[in-house]
Structure 1
Amino acid sequence: MPSFHHGDVEIAYLDEGEGDPIILVHGFASSKNVNWVYPTWVSELRKNGRRVIALDNRGHGESAKLYEPEQYSIPTMAGDVLALMDHLAIPQADIMGYSLGSRMTAILARENSDRVRSAILGGIGIGLIEGGGPGEAVALALEAPELEDVTDPVGRTFRAFADQTRSDRRALAACLRGSRRLMTRDEAAGIRVPVLIAVGSKDEIAGSASALGPIIPGSEVLDIPNRDHMRAVGDKVYKTGVLDFLSRRK
């Protein structure tokens, strides 16, 4: 798997296919494989004539593991995406995030609109502004000696997921504590690139997509029926909606 260095931090990535580039930014406690390869996003996008780039966020997957919360601020992590684009000499791309990856994508769309052709915010709704995602209980769950020691239900879900993916739980706890920055309503209203907001109808972590939609000018909302935060990722409605959105971004 190829990698590059952004400063002292090694970032692993994949780069497959030919055509207009799209960059995929995975969610918290996930990886490029878990979020994008296994649910067939990479293969579907390639079939539709796309060059697909996906990175492992710092602290995740095959990228460097860091243990200080300040190393995981949202602007810092978004900077890894820009550094990858520079490394691959990509001046502009569509960017799709999921959950934490969408927080990063929103910052890029707001602060680096010249680099973002369009932004797809998967797995994040009004939570982008109001919060409500995994908090300190999840960080403590990640640091617990065993899954059986975790009583918080959301903490158990994320801890089980981290165990399943064999993640570095200490790095994830630092990431969670360092990446809590919310976007203000005015910042979200300042996004000027085309935006698609895609959230499962049963997602209690992301917050309402329809509540975020009116705040981001011209954004489109895609409801993914009967899917929660974890199960929306590979949904057919999600994929079809994204491909339709991209097809209109000539």
Structure 2
Amino acid sequence: MPTFFSRGVEIAFDDHSPQGEAERTMVLVHGFTSNRKEGWRRTGWYAALERRRARCVALDQRGHGESQKLYEPQAYQRDVLAGDIIALLDHLELGQVDLFGYSMGARTALAAALAAPDRIGNLILGGVGERLLEPRTPGSPVDAMAQAMLAEDPETISHPMLRSFRHFADEQGEDRRALAAFVRAENPPLDVEAMGRLPVPVLVIAGQRDEGAGDPDGLARAFPEGRGITVVGCDHFSAIPHALTKAAVFDFLDGMLDDPFADRF
């Protein structure tokens, strides 16, 4: 298992290249309670990228998978997470890459792109939509997530989405105390003005039944070169492995999604 250190924190990652010369490099950033193997390898993205002759780099975000666990919320602030992505690019001596973040990983990917736009060729934000632009408020499901992670009995969690994330964390053997600290990190609101200046093509993609994401088009409009895709029939968890999601991502990378806000798979 290869690792590197970012600000003194050990981060685990995978780095797979196709036989021969890779045509592009894709960096993958998983979602909350997931990890690189569950979020990307098991769902078929490693194999799909290899077939596309792409170099595939995926990390376990700090607090997840085989990366180091920390228990103070400030260790998981968004700029710190984004710094881990840039540090990985530096560690592997990568220039410009395509960056794909899913769910919570989409927030990290967006922050990395805003911090270092010259390092990003294309940005893909999955499992998110216009609700990403809503301000975080006390009592929201996001804030309740920490309590769900720390609950002694997951069956006492009344909110279905929170209960699903808790069961998923337990199935993956994740460190729930680290996850509670992760979700409690305080971050400033997204810089919508900076998003409106981001000189990078952006694909926003989410399942039709992903109520937590909202309309992908609404978020895509925040970017100068944004495109929104809704994957019909999918929810938050079923969209990521779906063949239609892969088709949309690869069409986007190939420059075949020319009409912003007009596509539905």
Instruction: Report the Cα distance in structure 2 between the residues aligned to 1:214 and 1:84, rounded to whole angstroms.
Output: 29
Instruction: Report the Cα distance in structure 2 between the residues aligned to 1:187 and 1:30, rounded to whole angstroms.
Output: 28
Query: Which stretches in structure 1 are left out of the alignment for 5+ residues?
Result: none
Q: What corresponds to 1:233 in structure 2?
A: 240
| Deviating more after overlay: 195-204 vs 173-182 | 173-182
Q: What corresponds to 2:10 in structure 1?
A: 10
Q: Does structure 1 residue 35 correspond to structure 2 residue 39?
A: yes
Name the aligned partner's letter for residue 106 of structure 2: S
Name the aligned partner's letter for residue 57 of structure 1: Q
TM-score by length of 1: 0.95
How far apart are residue 187 of structure 1 and its match?
Answer: 2.7
How far apart are residue 8 of structure 1 and its match?
Answer: 1.6
- Report if aligned partners of 1:23, 1:94 keep a CA contact under 8 Å in 2: yes
Q: Deviations over 1:151-210 (max 9, x none)?
A: 232221111111111110010111111165441322321222011111111111112101
TM-score by length of 2: 0.90
- Report if aligned partners of 1:109, 1:192 keep a CA contact under 8 Å in 2: no
How far apart are residue 131 of structure 1 and its match?
Answer: 4.9
Name the aligned partner's letter for residue 160 of structure 1: H
Instruction: Report the Cα distance in structure 2 between the residues aligned to 1:201 and 1:159, rounded to whole angstroms.
Output: 23
For 1:72, which of 65, 73, 76 is the aligned residue? 76
Name the aligned partner's letter for residue 163 of structure 1: D
User: Are residues 30 and 181 of structure 1, via their aligned partners in 2, closer, same or farther at CA, if it must alter by over 3 Å?
Assistant: farther
Instruction: Report the Cα distance in structure 2 between the residues aligned to 1:80 and 1:72, rounded to whole angstroms.
Output: 10
User: Are residues 131 and 229 of structure 1, via their aligned partners in 2, closer, same or farther at CA, if it must alter by over 3 Å?
Assistant: farther
Name the aligned partner's letter for residue 97 of structure 1: G
Q: Does structure 1 residue 192 correspond to structure 2 residue 184?
A: no
Aligned residues: 249
How far apart are residue 149 of structure 1 and its match?
Answer: 2.6
Query: Which stretches in structure 2 are left out of the alignment for 5+ residues?
Result: 257-265
Instruction: Tell me the secondary structure at the aligned position of residue 199 of structure 2.
Output: coil
Q: C-alpha root-mean-square deviation of aligned residues, in Å?
A: 1.6
Q: What corresponds to 1:102 in structure 2?
A: 106
Instruction: Tell me the secondary structure at the aligned position of residue 10 of structure 2.
Output: strand
Instruction: Report the Cα distance in structure 2 between the residues aligned to 1:131 and 1:49, rounded to whole angstroms.
Output: 39
